[in-house]
Amino acid sequence: MEWLGFAGTLITALGSLIAVIVTNRANNEKMLHQMEINQERMKAEMEKAQAVTDTKIQELTREVREHNNFAKRMPVLEEKISVANHRIDDLEKGQNK
């Protein structure tokens, strides 16, 4: 009769062990699935952020090029203004004679 008590205890222990194993596996699969979903979301967010960054860099590059072009043209304009001022001065001197 003692073996029946032992067998009952053993069966209960095995049943509990099996239940724990099944529950842990189910939870692990659920967590892995959730992690995969989170990784996909993070990847999508990073791609969006990279696209925004790329767009901003392109816009800044365009603005720098415009500025550089303006900076190249400015000395030319200054020289033309200087020449025009000299011509105006010469004309004014010619009228005052």
pLDDT tens digits for range 24-82:
999 999 999 999 999 999 999 999 999 999 999 999 999 999 988 888 888 888 999 99
Q: Answer whether 0.75 is exceeded by the pTM.
A: no
- Reported as a pLDDT band with limits 50, 70 and 90, residue 6 is confident
Which has the higher per-residue pLDDT, 2 or 59?
59
H helices within 1-97, ranges in order? 2-96
Q: How far apart are CA 55 and CA 76, in angstroms?
A: 33
Which has the higher per-residue pLDDT, 89 or 56?
56
91 has pLDDT over 90:
no
